[in-house]
Amino acid sequence: MHLELIGIKKTFVDEKQGKETSAIAHIDLQIEGGQFISIVGPSGCGKSTLLRIISGLEKSFEGEVLLEGQKILKPEHEVGLVFQQYALFPWRTMCKNIEVGLEIMGMSKIERRTIAEEYIRLFGMNGFEDLYPSQLSGGMQQRVAIARTLIMNPKVVLMDEPFGSLDSQTRNDMQEFLMDLWQKRNVTIIFVTHNVDESVFLSDRIVVLSKRPARVLRIFEFDSPRPRDRTSKVANDIRREIIGILRQERIEPSSIGN
Ligand SMILES: Nc1ncnc2c1ncn2[C@@H]1O[C@H](COP(=O)(O)OP(=O)(O)OP(=O)(O)O)[C@@H](O)[C@H]1O
Ligand SMILES: [Mg+2]
């Protein structure tokens, strides 16, 4: 698997108001298969826009996204998405939420149930399969959202602040759960987060973006073994350096609204 972002640039145009918002100035990025990459950057700098571009949801932008040399032009099964808001169907049980992609593909009921049950076991959610999303904890809802994406066997999973709404203990548990899952499967993860600690705990590479319009300020390569000690010297050093860069990128009051 090889994912290339070449000369990505995005400007939002509001024709009614004659207003343009430059969200991404210029991004080039090469991503190798199986990597765990985090993207951190100031609020509003263009991170979600970048993920939408990679996912094929965003139609108008400059540059190219190539997955194994092929342009991504629309949402594909190879590229999965997990958002902060779990976006589960409230009227479907856990099991039926997990099966939804396979159902849309036209897989038979028995086949998709068998596969969904494997995921429920793998995700440690046995016994909850007939409950509805409102009956599940936040951490479990997010696990359902991840299972629903992974069941489609994507090569790349894009995650946009997936643990942003969880309390800190559940968030730590979910980070460990995700790390374990990623180590078991040959999947590439591109993970957007505001939380520098989370990016240091999880990633092989951390891409630090500038304030809007986004460009790459620094890329940190981090190859210490997992599971990582969040308080090791190397983790602390990288964390301190990233926080320093982000502090310098704080939006000056005079530039708001430009
Ligand atoms: N559909 C849209 N129309 C106009 N402007 C948009 C649209 N979507 C995003 N923007 C603008 O583009 C910029 C980047 O937004 P984006 O959501 O990508 O930032 P972000 O880095 O994900 O922010 P956050 O950290 O708060 O999630 C912002 O200024 C936002 O207001
Ligand atoms: Mg965002």
Write phi, then psi, for 217 (nearest 5 degrees). Answer: -90, -45
pLDDT at 195: 93
The pLDDT score that the predictor gives to residue 84 is: 78
Ligand 1 centroid–CA 250 distance in Å is 16
Burial class for 147, CB neighbours closer than 10 Å (0-12, 13-18, 19+): buried
Owner of token pair 């430059």: 22
In the structure, which protein residues have their CB atom closer than 6 angstroms to any atom of ligand 1?
12, 21, 23, 41, 43-49, 212
Set out the domains of the chain in order of their start, with CATH numbers: 1-78+184-258 (3.40.50.300)
Please tell me the least confidently modeled range out of 90-94, 207-211, 221-225: 221-225
What is the residue with the minimal CA distance to atom 20 of ligand 1? 44
Q: How far is the CA of 51 from the centre of ligand 2 (A)?
A: 9
Give the span between the Cα atoms of 6 and 253, in whole angstroms.
32
CA-nearest residue, atom 12 of ligand 1: 23
For residue 7, pLDDT beyond 70 = yes
Please give the distance, rounded to the nearest whole angstrom, from the Cα atom of residue 129 to the centre of ligand 1.
Answer: 36
Residue 86 has pLDDT above 80, yes or no: no
Q: What is the mean pLDDT of residues 2-13?
A: 97
**Closest ligand, as measured to the CA of 83:** 2
Which atom of ligand 1 lies at the shortest distance from residue 51's CA?
18
CA distance 55 to 72: 8
Q: Which residue has the higher pLDDT, 66 or 251?
A: 66
Distance 160 CA to ligand 2 centre (A): 7
* Predicted local confidence at residue 252, as pLDDT: 55
Averaged over 235-254, what is the pLDDT?
Answer: 85
- Whose CA is closest to atom 14 on ligand 1? 46
